A = this chain, B = another copy of it.
C-alpha cells in the first residue's frame, strides 16, 4: 500500500540505503520506486529534478544524521578525545557488522562516482564532509591549542574512517578498526594541564 503522505520521506530513505550499498549509477529510478513503494507520478511531484535532486536531499539527510551522531559523542566525550576517537571507530565497525557490510557512505560513494562530472553533487559532498570534520574537531579541540591543528587532526580521523570503511566492506572484516584508532590516539598531543 502506498503511504502517500510519506512518499517523499520513503524515497529519500530508499535512496540513502541504495546509494550506501551500491552507489549512484547502479541505482535506477525503477529500483528506487520499487523500494520506496511510490508511484512514478508521485516521485516527480516530490522530486522534479529527478534522481539528481533526490541524491542532493539524500546527502543532506545522511549528512545531518551522521553529524548528529558525531556531535552527541563529541559533546559526551569532549574531555576525552582518545575515547571519542575509539567511539567513532567502534560505532562504524558495529554498523558495518550489523549491516552485513552493506553500510557504505553516501558521501564517499557519490564523491567517487560523480566528483568529475556533477559539480552540484560534488559541492554537496564537500559540504557534508566538511560538517563532519568540524564536528570531529569539536570533540578533539581540548587537546589542541589552535583550531587549525584540531581541524588537521580531525581531517586525518575523517579520511581514515572513510578509507577504512571502504576497505572493511571489501574485506568483510572490521579487524583493523581498533588498530587504526590506536594509531590515531597515539598520535594525539598529550592532554594539556
Contacts and interface: CB of A to CB of B under 8 A. Distances in A.
Number of copies: 2
Given A152-B176, A155-B176, A156-B183, A101 B129 contact: no
A21 interface: yes
A27 to B, nearest CB: 8
A122 interface: yes
A180 B159 contact: yes
A113 to B, nearest CB: 4
A184 to B, nearest CB: 7
A23 B26 CA distance: 10
A160 interface: yes
Interface of A: 21-26, 101-102, 104-105, 107-109, 111-117, 122-123, 125-126, 129, 152-153, 155-156, 158-164, 166-167, 169-172, 176, 179-180, 182-184, 186-187
